[in-house]
Amino acid sequence: MSSKKTHAPEKALSPKEVTAYLLEHRDFFEKHPATLAALDVPHKILGTSSLIERQVAQLREHNEQLRRRIAELLENARNNDQLFKKTRKLSLLLNESVDFSEQVNKLKQVLAEDFNAESYSLVLFDQPEGLEGDCLRTIDSETAHELAPGLMNIEQVFCGHLRENEYQFLFPKDHKKIRSAILIPIKQKNLHGFIALGSEDENRFHPKLGTLFADYIGNIVGGSLANALTLSSL
């Protein structure tokens, strides 16, 4: 007959053994904070005030982190709501007219009044002469590549700092004051270029800034202007 080996159940540690272990490893709770947070230490036990204080401190820190996170989410929600309203206004204004110059001027109006842009420009490449608009600049792509080659490789919305020659290319009148910028590419079949906003604050347009609405603005402005160009050529 085959005999089966049986394992004796593990013996539970005695309070004395637990106490001896904790005394020997006094930094146990520092290395295992989750264990400390899970303990339920009665307040009436003598000598436990330090443990309770640690637990309370950890809970307060956790609550503070949650509070900051909730405040951040609420602030983002408010900002997104405002961006949605401004973007919707821009879309409605562009749809009021099929004239290219009027649309460019309405774009300038929204950038200045609603987005509080300190500097702004609409740069379009390889377009026919005669296009007009308050913030419009047309230039052939070959010349643009010579003046600011780095800009010609930007395919997505860009936020951050640019080179001095790039600021000068985008904001000829006040490039010396600009310290940060956002570039919104326009990529349509018959229309390529940038919407550029500049700021004297080097932190206003930073690399971690959300670009969802900026990308949407590029799509609606590009589509609207491209349609206006098509209609004007008929």
Q: Put residue 162 in one of left, alpha, beta given phi > 0 → left and psi -120 to 50 → alpha.
A: beta
Q: What is the pLDDT of residue 212?
A: 86
Give me the pLDDT at residue 123, please: 93
What average pLDDT score do residues 164-173 get? 92
Q: What is the pLDDT of residues 197-215, one digit of tens each?
A: 999 999 999 988 888 889 9
Indicate the average pLDDT of the chain.
84
97-232 placed in CATH 3.30.379.10 = no
Structure tokens at 57: 């401190």
Q: Look at residue 14 in the predicted model and tell me its pLDDT.
A: 87
Q: DSSP states of 78-124 as a string? A: HHHHHHHHHHHHHHHHHHT---HHHHHHHHHHHHHHTS--SEEEEEE
Among residues 104, 133, 129, the alpha carbon closest in space to that of 225 is found at 104
**Residues of each domain in the chain carrying CATH 3.30.450.40:** 97-232
pLDDT tens per residue, range 41-72: 555 555 555 677 777 788 888 888 888 888 88
Look at the alpha carbons of 150, 151, 153, 154 in this order and tell me if their dihedral is positive or negative. Answer: positive
Using CA atoms, how far residue 116 sits from 38, 109, 113, 197, 198, in Å, is 50, 10, 6, 10, 10
pLDDT of res. 77: 82
**pTM of the predicted model, to two decimals?**
0.68
The tens digit of pLDDT for each residue in 92-120 reads 999 888 899 999 999 999 998 898 889 99
| Residue 32 confidence (pLDDT) | 78
For 43, residues 6+ apart whose C-beta sits below 8 A from its C-beta are 52
Structure tokens at 109: 């109006």
> Could you report the per-residue pLDDT of 3-46, keeping only the tens digit for each?
455 555 567 888 888 888 888 888 887 787 777 666 665 555 55
Residue 166 to residues 149, 169, 190, 210, 214: CA-CA distances in angstroms? 9, 5, 24, 22, 20
Report H helices in the chain: 15-24, 28-31, 33-38, 49-95, 100-113, 141-147, 164-170, 212-232
Segment holding 180, helix H or strand E? strand 180-188
Question: What does the block give as tokens for 137?
Answer: 């600049």
